[in-house]
Amino acid sequence: MPFKRKSFSTVGIVGFGAFGALVARHLAPHCRVLAFDLQPRDPEGLPVIFCDLPTVARSDVLVLAVPVSALADTIRTLRPHLQPGTIVIDVGSVKIEPVRIMREELPPFVEIIGTHPLFGPQSAKDGVAGHRIAWCPVRGRSTGRIAAFLRRVLELDVIRTTPDAHDREMAVVQGLTHLIAKVLVRMEPLPSRMATRSFDLILQATDMVRHDAPGVYEAIERANPHAAAVRERFFALADEVRGALDEQAELAPPLAAAAY
């Protein structure tokens, strides 16, 4: 079925958590924003119109800001209300599984784009300009127009990739960041009085992800098919480093004796 070329005057957001609110904040100056969430949400002073799901589903562009685990059920609920030519965009932290779900569950008359904004409410608290977004166009004729809007209007760095290439990189980039942050949070309280600049940066990275919704960590570590191999390699190399330190400690003379 040929895709109908249409305007982008209305954007619907399904899922108005912290990230859905961030999307609304930056899109509201440019279009009418409708939103739906299962829980009552505070619009936080944003010009957002909360509607029922069928109304939001009729938007020109539909942003699915829901956990990966809820994506299939969300789409099945939306499906009877979708209009020909609607552009459906997900913003999940992984791409293989969401793209598969959207291909299988969405009707053939809608356009599909998989995205992963490589920022969140914490890292983008001062604006999104200059931040990166991974871009996986799936089908449709309007994907280029959306990408151009993100580049020219929101000033995002749009990185075109495939779902598999994205997940391979994110298994390292996000998988290790969240894993290390989880460990450091459990080690708290951490010293700060004599912290070095490098340690401050590690703490800043931890703070950027510590308040992410539990579903984000779950998606990064479990919904990404490449994450387990990266974790195993990381822990294996950490064991090697620890083993090397233990071996050196056994061979080296005691520090007190070495001082004479």
Residues 142 and 70 in one domain: yes
**pTM reported for the whole predicted model:** 0.89
Q: Which tens digits make up the pLDDT trace of 177-197?
A: 999 999 999 999 999 999 999
Higher pLDDT, 255 or 30: 30
Residue 5 included in any domain: no
Residue 50 domain boundaries = 10-161
Higher pLDDT, 7 or 99: 99
Picking from 161, 191, 218, the residue at the C-terminal end of a domain is 161
- Please spell the DSSP secondary structure of 109-172, one letter per residue: TSEEEEEEES--TTTTTT-STT-EEEEEEEE-S-HHHHHHHHHHTS--EEEE--HHHHHHHHHH
Picking from 136, 161, 186, the residue at the C-terminal end of a domain is 161
Residue 53 included in any domain: yes
- Percent of the chain surpassing pLDDT 90: 82
Residues 49 and 15 in one domain: yes
Residue 4 included in any domain: no
pLDDT of residue 6: 58
Residue 17 included in any domain: yes
Residues 240 and 115 in one domain: no
C-alpha 131/C-alpha 35 separation (Å) is 24
**Mean per-residue pLDDT, 28-45:** 90
C-alpha 28/C-alpha 209 separation (Å) is 26
pLDDT of residue 40: 79
Residues 122 and 220 in one domain: no
C-alpha 172/C-alpha 196 separation (Å) is 25
The answer to whether the CB of 138 falls within 8 A of the CB of 195 is: no
Query: Does pLDDT of 4 surpass 90?
Result: no
Q: Which tens digits make up the pLDDT trace of 196-231?
A: 999 999 999 999 899 888 888 989 999 999 999 999
pLDDT of residue 8: 84
C-alpha 178/C-alpha 180 separation (Å) is 6
Residues 114 and 233 in one domain: no
Instruction: Return the structure tokens found at 134.
Output: 């991974």
How many folded domains does the chain comprise?
2
- Please spell the DSSP secondary structure of 172-204, one letter per residue: HHHHHHHHHHHHHHHTPSPP-TT--HHHHHHHH
Sort residue 43 into left (φ over 0), alpha (ψ -120 to 50) or beta. alpha
Picking from 135, 161, 187, the residue at the C-terminal end of a domain is 161
Residue 260 included in any domain: no
Residue with tokens 């938007």: 59
Residue 199 included in any domain: yes
C-alpha 1/C-alpha 84 separation (Å) is 9
Residues 145 and 170 in one domain: no
Residues 89 and 179 in one domain: no
Q: Which tens digits make up the pLDDT trace of 91-125?
A: 999 999 999 999 999 999 999 999 999 999 989 99
Residues 153 and 175 in one domain: no
Query: Does pLDDT of 69 surpass 80?
Result: yes
Query: Does pLDDT of 24 surpass 80?
Result: yes
Residue 221 included in any domain: yes
The answer to whether the CB of 133 falls within 8 A of the CB of 157 is: yes
Q: What is the CATH number of the domain that holds 106?
A: 3.40.50.720
Residues 145 and 23 in one domain: yes
